[in-house]
């Protein structure tokens, strides 16, 4: 699942984690460019939105255990950075700009009343209602089936798409491109299709229609500095092996939970601060969220001091120079965040209510619960290529040209 500068990850894993990474081949999949938008906001919005999203993940997990409502109650609006995919819908190729979200799975349009959906000769109205709660926002409307094109090569002829009759909490976008697991659509359709508890996602249908050879989505982000000529991101549907967007090898680990959940441990300065636990990888969350005990150990080691204006922890230049790697161990492979990857981009301090030149740690504490002990957010994903593999129920990571970047 989190922003508008904010403003979010795979075949023998049925019985465990792949022990050794897989080397790339020469058959990359089909790519979709995604544009990055930066928004001015405040640090507290950034931190609190992420916490709201984490709470929504917890609420959905609890509802499944108690057999209550299963709607995905997940906020998707990042407070600082937003990645937008341009798609077309219908025989008339109406263009919409959708937020890319791995924390939800319904695709819908209609958030911007200036770009209303007009049914065409390819549109099929179902008379079923779609309703999705996102924590900080929601929408409801009618379900259509229509042609959806993510690019010239990625055209789905019969995609379920929600058309909002009412929405709240969404700005600077026309809707959501949901690329989370299909289980997250459970309970979102009301009407004649209600007995069918889930609806195929865009990646489901690309695979079913034979457009891609595996139901896989790769995501390439780039650290954000606000520069006008900064590279944009990219989605890759299908075979990601051999993509130029990563270096070395991809390490895969088994998918956990209805979300893109994984098992990992976290170490700082050679000391394990979070034992192996289950959490979520989410393009819709900006910061990294760690269990309170792990976060406190990290802060005590770094010397960070809470900053009221941003809601983050500030460190001095001397403390920054002394930072050790913050290491995420996934599938037997270490994925370190360098000192530069641990701080908020200094050129964007004003966007979060911070002061010019100051250094803020891009990590936050969260209350750990079963299956949600952490969230690896955008600040992790901008340093590592991520692979979300529905075919093999796994999540993968690999280094990129930006893993050790010093742009922050």
Residue 258 appears among annotated catalytic residues: no
Cβ atoms of 82 and 172 closer than 8 Å: yes
Q: In which residue are the tokens 């079923």 written?
A: 128
Number of H helices, E strands in the chain: 5, 24
E runs forming strands in 50-93: 81-89
Angstrom distance (rounded) from CA 101 to CA 116:
21
Tally of CB atoms within 10 A around 314: 20
CA separation (Å) from 211 to 65, 95, 329, 401, 408?
A: 36, 21, 34, 29, 38
Q: Which residues contact 300 (CB under 8 A, 6 or more apart)?
A: none
Dihedral sign from CA coordinates of 50, 279, 55, 298: negative
Angstrom distance (rounded) from CA 328 to CA 324:
13
Angstrom distance (rounded) from CA 268 to CA 344:
18
Cβ atoms of 35 and 83 closer than 8 Å: yes
Active-site option among 133, 186, 258, 282: 282
User: Counting every residue, how long is the chain?
Assistant: 408
Residue 282 appears among annotated catalytic residues: yes
Tell the burial category of 251 from Cβ atoms under 10 Å away from its Cβ (0-12, 13-18, 19+).
buried
Cβ atoms of 101 and 283 closer than 8 Å: yes
Alpha-helical regions (H) of 200-291: 202-208
Degrees to nearest 5, angle at CA 341 with 384 and 316: 175
C-alpha closest to that of 105 among 145, 162, 44, 146? 162
Active-site option among 59, 101, 239, 371: 101
Angstrom distance (rounded) from CA 370 to CA 389:
23
Q: Which residues are known to be catalytic?
A: 101, 282
């Amino acid at each position: 699942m989190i922003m508008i500068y904010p403003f979010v990850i795979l075949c023998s894993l049925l019985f465990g984690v792949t022990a050794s990474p897989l080397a790339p081949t020469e058959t990359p999949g089909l790519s979709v460019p995604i544009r990055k938008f930066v928004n001015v906001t405040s640090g507290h919005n950034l931190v609190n939105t992420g916490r709201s999203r984490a709470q929504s993940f917890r609420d959905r997990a609890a509802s499944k255990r108690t057999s209550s409502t299963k709607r995905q109650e997940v906020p998707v609006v990042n407070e600082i950075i937003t990645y937008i995919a341009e798609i077309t819908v219908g025989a008339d190729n109406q263009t919409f700009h959708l937020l890319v979200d791995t924390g939800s799975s319904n695709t819908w349009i209609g958030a911007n009343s200036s770009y209303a959906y007009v049914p065409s000769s390819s549109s099929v109205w179902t008379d079923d209602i779609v309703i999705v709660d996102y924590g900080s926002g929601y929408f409801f409307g009618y379900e259509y089936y229509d042609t959806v094109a993510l690019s010239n090569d990625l055209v789905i002829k019969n995609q379920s798409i929600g058309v909002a009759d009412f929405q709240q909490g969404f700005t600077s976008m026309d809707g959501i491109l949901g690329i989370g697991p299909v289980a997250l659509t459970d309970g979102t359709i009301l009407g004649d299709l209600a007995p069918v508890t889930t609806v195929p996602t865009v990646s489901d249908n690309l695979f079913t229609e034979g457009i891609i050879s595996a139901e896989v989505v790769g995501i390439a982000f780039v650290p954000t500095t606000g520069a006008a000529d900064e590279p944009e991101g990219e989605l890759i549907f299908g075979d990601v092996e051999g993509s130029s967007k990563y270096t070395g090898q991809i390490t895969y680990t088994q998918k956990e939970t209805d979300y893109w959940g994984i098992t990992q441990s976290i170490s700082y300065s050679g000391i394990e601060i979070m034992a192996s636990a289950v959490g979520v990888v989410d393009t819709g969350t900006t910061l990294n969220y760690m269990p309170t005990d792990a976060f406190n150990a990290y802060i005590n080691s770094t010397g960070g001091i809470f900053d009221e204006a941003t809601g983050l922890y500030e460190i001095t230049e001397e403390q920054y120079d002394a930072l050790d790697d913050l290491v995420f161990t996934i599938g037997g492979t270490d994925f370190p965040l360098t000192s530069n990857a641990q701080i908020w981009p200094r050129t964007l301090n004003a966007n979060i209510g911070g002061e010019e030149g100051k250094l803020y740690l891009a990590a936050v504490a969260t209350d750990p619960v079963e299956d949600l002990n952490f969230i690896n957010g955008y600040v992790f994903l901008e340093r590592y290529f991520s692979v979300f593999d529905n075919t093999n129920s796994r999540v993968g990571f690999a280094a990129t040209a930006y893993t050790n970047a010093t742009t922050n």
